[in-house]
Structure 1
Amino acid sequence: MSRDHDGGEAVFRWPIRVYYEDTDAGGVVYHANYLKFFERARCEMLRAWGFELDKLREREDLLFVVRAVEMDFLRPAKFNELLCVTTAIEQAKAASLVFKQTVWRGDEALCRAKVKVACLAAAAFRPKPLPDSLLRCLRGD
């Protein structure tokens, strides 16, 4: 896992191994499982930057919920392959985020996604601004 700059934007990389449970009868990753890969990478990115989701809920009354996902399936991933999920912040507003994510096999992009996430107060399920420290981190300030 790393945070580095690729073309001017911060990119987080997270390795993913394809397990048998991730595949369909043909031995390729079942399309819905890419959502799991993307979710794990977003969570690990926040963890790597010092923000634990359970602590944000407990201390800040903050939840993240997926509002929309656009995905493009480019190539199949197969059982036992070691992949890499990249995650970058495309947009960070006061109470919402847009992530650009890609699953890679080496230099080959397999699946791309744009994930829109809303920030909500855990107790009320109403929009809530991100803490300043997290917003600054996500914006790269």
Structure 2
Amino acid sequence: MDTASITIGSILLLLFIAPVLYVIWKQSLQDKKLLKKLIEEGARYNLKFDHTEVSNSLLLGLDSGNKKLLAIEPDNDKTTLVDLVKISDSKILKKVTPNPSSFKDREKIMQVSIELMENKRGEKVSQILFYDEDARDGTDVGTRLTSALKWEKLIKANLSI
């Protein structure tokens, strides 16, 4: 190989790799910023998180020692602190509509959330939204459903029943 071929190959490689590396770097910075926001908000309530999750539309932190769950929606700065001692049950809710595609028995998931029920009255205390089709935040419903299943399991493990 001559020098010109190596130079052209290196330039082309940089043209294709540099944008990908830039996007990864920007997303990493965004995730660190959101995690810092979650930790700072948790510190206001004296929480030390055992489990955290950061996405563009939802920040979650669980303090198993204090049995508290902190949920933050960064888009609208809505913060929800849930005392798991007062919760008796949690369940995943999926809102679905018939899928107009060629698969007749399939349904399209429009929304995925976890509903938390109160001990005494059995009323809904809080609902944590993991996925909303209308939000168009770029998340995949399968990924968010898996995340909701994981968090429901963590929440149930920390309920005082």
Interval of TM-score (by shorter of Structure 1 and Structure 2) = under 0.3
TM-score by length of 2: 0.25
Name whichever structure is richer in helix by fraction. Answer: 2
Name whichever structure is richer in strand by fraction. Answer: 1
Higher relative contact order (CA 8 A, sep 6+): 1
Q: Report the structure number with the largest CA radius of gyration.
A: 2
TM-score by length of 1: 0.28
